[in-house]
Structure 1
Amino acid sequence: MSTIVIKRSQAVWQDRTRAYTAWVDGKAVGRLEHGASLSVPVGAGEHEVQMRIDWCTSPALSVSVPVGGTVELECGPNANALLALLYITLWRHRYIWLKPATTE
């Protein structure tokens, strides 16, 4: 079995007390609290991952998971105090950023 691991950043104030819902291939697979991570078992191959909170989302991200392998992703809020109103209305499908995890 392969795995997708999603880690949520520790934002200073944005969404600190609210959970994001992780969606893989159109199905809700779990919730991420502030600073938490989630491991989702999946079959090998292409998968579409998206994060949601209320009516706001991240852009969908396509990932290729190798047989028996793991793909690590990171997510967090895009909004800041000056742009929050735009992110919850016009840019609501970009409210959360979602990207492959950086290796250090």
Structure 2
Amino acid sequence: MSQDLFRAYEIILDSTNVGIIFAGQTICVPVVAGTHSLKMSIDWCGSEEINFSIASGEEITFECSGFSIFQVLLIPYYLIFRPNNWILLKRLG
């Protein structure tokens, strides 16, 4: 369960909004080979930016999520001191 269960995260690829994603959803975003940056955003908060390189024909999987129900007491801390850690974004594999 997440604090943003019914809200969409914006997908920011190379400083450009390329779409949105809701909880439980999977999305495929095609990119050209090279070096890119990815982050997620919601309101004034978001994730840390992840830089990655991708080769032609390669697929990379990322996963994003909000806080678990057990972390709900930390929400004020993240809102004030760590807004770029509001969304957890990680590369899989």
TM-score normalised by structure 2 residue count: 0.91
Which of 26, 32, 35 is residue 21 of structure 2 equivalent to? 32
Is 1:57 matched up with 2:49? no
Check conservation: 1:78, 1:94, Cα contact below 8 A: no
Check conservation: 2:2, 2:66, Cα contact below 8 A: no
Q: Which runs of 5+ in 1 are unaligned?
A: 1-11
Is 1:96 matched up with 2:87? yes
Identical residues among aligned pairs (%): 34
User: Whole-Å Cα distance in 1 between the matches of residues 52 and 2 of structure 2?
Assistant: 29
Q: Higher helix proportion, which one?
A: 2
Q: CA RMSD in A?
A: 1.3
Q: Which runs of 5+ in 2 are unaligned?
A: none
AA at the equivalent of 1:19: A
User: Whole-Å Cα distance in 1 between the matches of residues 37 and 79 of structure 2?
Assistant: 23
AA at the equivalent of 2:22: E
**Runs of 4+ more than 3 Å apart:** none
SS in 1 for 2:19: strand
The size of the alignment, in residue pairs, is 91
* Residue in structure 1 matched with residue 8 of structure 2 by the alignment: 19
CA drift of 1:78 comes to 3.7
Q: Higher strand proportion, which one?
A: 1
